[in-house]
Structure 1
Amino acid sequence: MKKIGFIGFGNMAGAIAQGIITSGFLMADNLIGYDIDKRMIDKMKSLGIETASDITNLIEKSEYVFIGVKPQVVESVLQPYVNCLKNKAIISIVLGYDFEKYQGLLDSSTRHIFVMPNTPARVLQGMSLIEKTHSLTETEFNFVKKMFESIGCVEVVPSHLMGVAGTLSGCGPAFVYMMIEALADGAVKEGVPREMAYKLASQTLQGAARMQMQTQLHPGVLKDQVCSPGGSTICGVEALEKGNLRATLMSAIFAAAHYNKGK
């Protein structure tokens, strides 16, 4: 019996699998996976993960079934296997498929939990949100929590906040990568070599984030500590304010959180 069986092995599921192997939480031989994409199958094999011949085979071999498929295919993928999933524990990272949605899709004996991770899990720096409402046993819940703690930080979140909180942590890395790229571009414009610029920008963002988490000081206080009167930093801050950095980032969260309303 494998500990976890992955149905779908896209970027996020792959990042989690790689993270829990790298952290030592589970060995690759405790995992099994299934995907219709040959590239994903090859990716699993490269990590030392066994591949299942079909979904029934995967469910039978797995203690926990990990759902990592696209939201638009969840029901078509799972409905034929509702009986196979009886008395199984499911971990789902599918956007929009929270506790209530799975309650209407699965047999009442199937225990399930919704988790919203992010891609930095691959390097053990993930931020995972676990829906507070779930149907796992206490032992199963503790296992899931410890697994995601092995690849970063975990926050247990009320159901009504999963959407917007998940937008911040799930979409946020893309926004941060854009900041890294822009900061580096600014340095390159002034003559700094590209590789050096990326390293300086990435470490600066990482260091600043860690300092805020460890000190628990308000970000504005930490910003003020860098801004000397009449100095270069406050001039840069003025440029960011003129460019509406804060409002733009707030708008990015709003747009990402409400993207479905425009469809």
Structure 2
Amino acid sequence: MKVGFIGMGNMASAIASGCMDANFLKVEDCYAYDIGTYKIAESYAIHATNSEKELVELVDVVILAIKPNVMESVLEKIKDSVQDKLIISIVTGYDCSRIESFLPGSAHLTVMPNTPAMVSQGMTLLEAMHTFNEQQMEYAVSLFESIGEVVILPTYQMKGATAISGCGPAFFYMMIEALADGAVLQGVPRDIAYKLASQTMIGAGTMQLETKIHPGVLKDNVCSPGGITIKGVKALEENGFRNAIIQAVEKSSN
């Protein structure tokens, strides 16, 4: 299957590089169109095309990774060339029903990936409503499983879930930076502080996934009576930590 990316920003680059590193896609089977295509083409030697329509005509699978404000103009350009193509959209605000109104009768699927796909630790959401057949859906699932985990959700849950997996990496990076700043304040070298914060976050997440123990219980297990951890928890609560996270998810869902 030849795969083409319309739009090669950070997310598309993460998917492309992750899939190639995982050997799911071969470099020679990848195409891209973007005003900045030369960047990814230079890095991975993938084919750069001169237009959206040219790309669609050369590939089997089209991944739309463009800004929402240009989505309709791009769909207008390619609508007559997508009849036998698989369309995978990662464009925010365009669910199955909305894409169907622009590309009636086409095979399309809306997904919401995240940037850790670049290191094969992605979390991708697939909309349960789609126009793929069973074999096409299996291909899409396999593609995104090559770069991480996949969850299929009903349309109404996509926004709230995207606020966690799609926007969440930014929130976690902010926490890593803040934890490191705190450690630097206490005299820990910056590079070591980043390593401590990042690995601790990886370890905590992996522990919850593998044990499936409620995160509140895992938190309690770290908090000894009168110990240093519960003092830190108290400081977080006094500064509205949980409320800030909940509001961040709420705002990112709108």
For Structure 1 versus Structure 2, the TM-score category normalised by the shorter chain is: over 0.9
Give, in angstroms, the shift of residue 87 of structure 1. 2.5
Partner of 1:58: 55
Partner of 2:79: 82
CA contact (8 A) 2:52 2:77 kept: no
1:32 and 2:28 are equivalent in the alignment = no
TM-score, L = length of structure 1:
0.94
1:169 and 2:168 are equivalent in the alignment = no
CA contact (8 A) 1:148 1:154 kept: yes
Question: After TM superposition, what 4+ stretches of structure 1 lie above 3 angstroms from structure 2?
Answer: none
Q: Deviations over 1:113-132 (max 9, x none)?
A: 00000111111111100000
SS of 2:35's partner is coil
Partner of 2:185: 189
TM-score, L = length of structure 2:
0.97
Structure 2 matches for 1:73-112, cutoff 5 A?
73-108=70-105, 110-112=106-108
SS of 1:25's partner is coil
| Long gaps (5+) in structure 2 | none
> Paired residues, what number?
254
Give, in angstroms, the shift of residue 53 of structure 1. 2.5
Give, in angstroms, the shift of residue 18 of structure 1. 0.5
Higher alpha-carbon deviation: 82-91 or 128-137: 82-91
Partner of 1:16: 15
Paired with 1:252 and 1:55, the residues of 2 have a C-alpha distance of 35
| Long gaps (5+) in structure 1 | 259-263
Residue 46 of structure 1, aligned match among 43, 46, 56: 43
SS of 2:137's partner is helix
CA contact (8 A) 2:53 2:77 kept: no
Give, in angstroms, the shift of residue 257 of structure 1. 1.3
Paired with 1:245 and 1:43, the residues of 2 have a C-alpha distance of 38
Paired with 2:91 and 2:217, the residues of 1 have a C-alpha distance of 37
Paired with 1:174 and 1:36, the residues of 2 have a C-alpha distance of 25
1:205 and 2:195 are equivalent in the alignment = no
Paired with 1:55 and 1:245, the residues of 2 have a C-alpha distance of 44
